[in-house]
Structure 1
Amino acid sequence: MNSHSMALSGASKKVLIGVFGLSDYELRLVRSVLSLTMASGRRHSYALFDATHTADPDIVILDPDNMQARAALQTLIESRNIPEPATVFISNAGQTTPGKHHLLHPLVPTKMLALLDQVADELDRVMPGAAAVATDAASTSSSVVQPLMQRTAPASVLQTGHRALIIDDSPTARIKIDLELRAMKIASDCAETGEQALQMLEKKAYDIIFLDIVMPGADGYEICKIIRRHPQTKRTPVVMLTSKSSPFDRIRGSLSGCSSYLTKPVEHLKFRAVVEKSLTAGDLPFAMEKASGLAMGT
């Protein structure tokens, strides 16, 4: 690996991410997402590479159809005399790209983070020595063209049976909660509306649900009431997310059946305490429901 991060293990140093060929909007999104990893207690934390860094990028995100982006990356490699960094290709649906790591336009933050974690783990395994990285990068560049992968890293990587559902129309809030959950080895799925979440609950069981109050369509109180009316989700912990915390909000939340409250932006220690308490309270009944073979909608 590059001199900047010769010891990624234990997240002792930032992993530098170079970006080539993304739109201004996607670049701002990447910068915002990477900044959230710095204070979440994650195994890997990331920072956006720029020309002012004396260290070299560890991973690059590249649009291979953008000729200027490819030229800029090649110029960087030649000017710094460095091996080709591990590359994540980003392109439009239906296109194929070289290499084994792919993302699709428009960029989905949770999928990007999952793939960056996967690549960073691979770089950990080939340490020490930049020669190993160079060999790995070369083999990646010359690999057979494959169809684009649209899935995130498998949940088994998280080494836990717990899975959460995050229901929030704010991308920033979803990313923050997803990062906190990953630090606790908990997998998660996301929904932008309550209606979308109810469809997901018909197909999959969850150990804990994070539910925003203010959303387009049905609000969090209405969705929580629906969740509580169904026999397969009536005992699943539901944590309400609110940008304000007033007695009135808590009364309405209690009447709708929520288990707990978190005020956004969520605080790290309080988040962990609420999750641990909720899962401890909800583990037994949820396990009994899963063991009985029941699934919502059947």
Structure 2
Amino acid sequence: MDQYNNAAKCKVNNAHPQLLVGILGFDVADEEKLSSVFQIQRTNGRKYIPAKILANVCSDILVVNYDNLTALEEKDQILNAHPHTQIVAVSRGPLIDPPIHHIRGILIAARVLNVIDKVTVESSSELPSTPLQDVAEISPPQVPTTHTETNKTESTTTQINNGGYRVLVVDDSPAIQKSLEINLATLSQISVIDFADSGENALEKAETHQYDLIFLDVMMPGMDGYEACSLLRKKLEYKKTPIIMVSGKTSPLDEVKGIVAGCTTYLTKPVQSDEFKKLSIRVLTWLENKKTS
């Protein structure tokens, strides 16, 4: 979260109020819905501009999905850097200690705007270092967009670029999924990252898509990583696919169990950037050689 370390100042032009609205922790469908809502002409003269979370621009208003634990952690870091940012909470149900502005339930345009219009934003004397009119067009390098697919269990897909490798991350921990997503998003060879939160869901996705690389958690409810890996290896299309077991357990016995199940190698939790980088170089080199052979 280095992008939040440097505080930035925001300005609200009182004659023609243009307010930057950050959207945090939503899937693509809800993010697009909110962005469309913010573009509706307001009778009070306000103009809402959906903005990416950038180091040199702080949002006047931050709309946060309070059902997303990762988003809550990011929200706290943003507030540490930009204490004047106003928070609007969105949740499916009631919150124990909600902020002043809270949208509960379905994201209906009238309901969203009714809450947003009531937010009082503190202005300052300094402009953001990025021109206000350009903010909505800017996105940080390699920051992926996430949307939710609905199957028997909830999972997500991250589209980074086109023409690269497709990766499947299987882990029941949102924190580990996010950690691997951040690391994978730094690799230019990766185009799509899919997520599954169980062995069963991983097998379903493997039937739908062909993956070039799979990260597989060992300990999960229901089918564990060893069984999922063994079943994947029985499929002709996954006989040689690199399958990386992700686990905090790295005893010799665990490694033997992984080898017997058919895993390629291990990655230790919590994921360390240096270790991930070394592993990714090896795996991507193998994939590139396979492509050209």
Query: Which TM-score applies when normalising by structure 2?
Result: 0.58
> Normalized per residue, which structure has more helix?
1
Q: How does 1:1-298 map to 2 (within 5 A)?
A: 4=9, 13=56, 18-20=61-63, 22-23=65-66, 25-26=67-68, 28-32=69-73, 47-49=77-79, 53-54=83-84, 63=103, 65=108, 73-74=116-117, 76=119, 78-80=121-123, 128-133=130-135, 155=159, 157-185=160-188, 186=190, 187-285=192-290
- Separation of aligned partners in 1, 2:215 and 2:266: 9
Q: 1:241 is aligned with what amino acid?
A: V
Distance change >3 Å, CA 169–CA 287, structure 1 → 2? farther
CA distance in 2, matches of 1:17, 1:243: 40
Deviation at 1:176, TM superposition (A): 0.9
| Superposition CA RMSD, Å | 4.2
Q: TM-score, normalised by structure 1?
A: 0.57
Query: What is the letter of the counterpart of residue 208 of structure 1?
Result: L
Gaps of 5+ in 2: 1-6, 12-50, 91-102, 138-146, 150-155
1:118-151 deviations in whole A, cap 9, x for unaligned? xxxxx9xxx84224559x8xxxxxxxxxxxx867
Separation (CA, whole Å) in 1 of partners of 2:183 and 2:207: 25
Q: Give the fraction of aligned pairs with identical amino acids, expressed as a percent.
A: 27
Quickly say closer, same or farther: Cα 1:239–1:18, change in 2 above 3 A. Answer: farther
CA distance 1:159–1:133, change in 2 (3 Å): same
> What's the offset of the Cα at 1:169?
1.1
Conservation of the 8 A alpha-carbon contact between 1:180 and 1:268:
yes
Give the whole-Å Cα distance in 1 for the aligned partners of 2:60 and 2:239: 43
Q: Which amino acid aligns with 1:32?
A: E
Give secondary structure in 1 for the equivalent of 2:195.
Answer: strand
Give the match's secondary structure for 1:279. helix
Instruction: Measure how far apart 1:174 and its partner are.
Output: 0.9
Q: Structure 1 residues 150 and 188 mapped into 2: Cα distance closer, same or farther (>3 Å)? A: closer
Whether the aligned pair in 2 keeps the contact of 1:194 and 1:218 (CA below 8 Å) is yes
| Structure 1 residue 251 displacement after superposition | 1.0
CA contact (8 A) 1:163 1:206 kept: yes
Q: Which amino acid aligns with 2:215?
A: F
Q: Per the alignment, in what secondary structure is the counterpart of residue 241 of structure 2? A: coil
Q: Which runs of 5+ in 1 are unaligned?
A: 36-46, 83-122, 137-148, 289-298
Determine which structure has the larger strand proportion and give its number.
2
Change (3 A) 1:73 1:154: same
